[in-house]
Amino acid sequence: MRKFTLLLTLSVPTLFQPLTAFASDHINSQNVSTIHGDVGLAFSSGKYSSNFIASDEGDSSAVSNGLNRAPSDESYTKTTPLLDLNYTIGSTDTSLFLSSQTGDPLSQESYVSIGAEQVIGRFGTLSTAYLFSIPGSNKEWADPYATNHKRSSTDTRSQGVSVGWQQILGSQLSASFTHIEKKLDQERGGDSLSELSTSQRNMLDRNGHIDSASVSYIFALSENQSLTPELRYSRYGLNGSAMSHNQFGIGLTHNIAIAKYSLSNGIFWAENKYDEDNPIYNKKSDSNEYYFSSTLTKQQLFGFTQLTGLLSASIGKNKSDIQFFNAKNTSFEVGVAYSF
């Protein structure tokens, strides 16, 4: 059932293994080339607060609470397409795929990945993918620090590559690396603050690259359940020195399957250490963040063999040394996927 939870917004595998290619169960062991996959829709509703992720400019969050206060909660609903298409090439143990994916609950980013996967006996499974953001799906405030008037949003465009090595040397150890280039259409951070110099505004630049590496190991607790710890390091090498930072994270996922039901629960915690002081506050915006997610899936929904139902709940929170940088998100989601 991993292929479904990978596609669910705020799902556990998405949190702990972001932007990686698919697992080896997508490889067809038969000697014929086939196309198979899953398509569906997920509907979510929740509340989030962020001074950087943009909502509708008519919403209350378009006006900040001030530079020294945390952002207000904003309700939202959205529909997310679920897509996982795979083309297996005969008996070559090679699979090509096209899928939709999402990032962590706080970033709310949406991506499309196109890639390939190759099983190499006991050596393991190698995968690579090209990733790009869905146009118009990721938005931030052009100048998050603007006060006393509505902030304008700007599109955020991202693209990059991901490589993975699953079942390393016949073990349950997996590793992945992702490189993402991020570009805001209009980066105006700090333009509304006349007291900042040009060099200080440059320190707030959010454009740049994000490199992330992770390792995980699946411990089988029984025939139908497993426990997977993960270690992750991410480098946010952004153009602004006050926005660049290192992230060190650890996650734990528990999976269990009983009859037609599968339940995945996971938690992830990370520490963010910034390179330099933010020139507005004269201190670093170091923070701790965590995510928790629970995803339940049911096969043969309503008695239809090829239909799967999904139900997910998630919460994420970022607690910063600067209140303005605080963020949180809670979400409840229901979805249906059709397999072919």
Q: Please provide residue 187's backbone torsions phi and psi, each rounded to the nearest 5 degrees.
A: -100, 105
Confidence of residue 56 (pLDDT cuts 50, 70, 90): low
Q: Residue 20 pLDDT > 70, yes or no?
A: no
CA distances from 93 to 116, 118, 234 (A): 11, 6, 31
Q: Residue 125 pLDDT > 60, yes or no?
A: yes
- Mean pLDDT calculated for residue range 281-299: 96
The pLDDT tens digits for 93-105 are 899 999 988 777 7
Structure tokens that stand for 215 in this block: 């390792």
Confidence of residue 30 (pLDDT cuts 50, 70, 90): low
More confident call, 16 vs 148: 148
CA distances from 308 to 40, 265, 332 (A): 9, 18, 17
Instruction: Flag the least confident range among 34-38, 201-205, 213-217, 269-273.
Output: 34-38
More confident call, 9 vs 35: 35
Query: 71: which residues sit within 8 A by CB, 6+ positions away?
Result: 49, 50, 51, 61, 64, 65, 324, 326, 327
The pLDDT tens digits for 218-254 are 999 999 999 999 999 999 999 999 999 999 999 999 9
Confidence of residue 291 (pLDDT cuts 50, 70, 90): very high
Task: Return the percentage of the chain with pLDDT > 70, whole number.
Answer: 89
Comparing C-alpha atoms, which of 333, 252, 258 is closest to residue 299? 258
Cβ atoms within 10 Å of 68's Cβ, excluding its own: 10
Q: Residue 10 pLDDT > 50, yes or no?
A: no
More confident call, 86 vs 18: 86
What is d(CA 251, CA 270) in angstroms, rounded to the nearest whole number? 9
- Mean pLDDT calculated for residue range 328-338: 95
Q: Residue 4 pLDDT > 70, yes or no?
A: no
For the chain, percent helix, then strand, then coil, each to nearest 5? 10, 55, 35
Cβ atoms within 10 Å of 223's Cβ, excluding its own: 7
What is d(CA 4, CA 297) in angstroms, rounded to the nearest whole number? 8
Confidence of residue 278 (pLDDT cuts 50, 70, 90): very high
Per-residue pLDDT at 119: 95
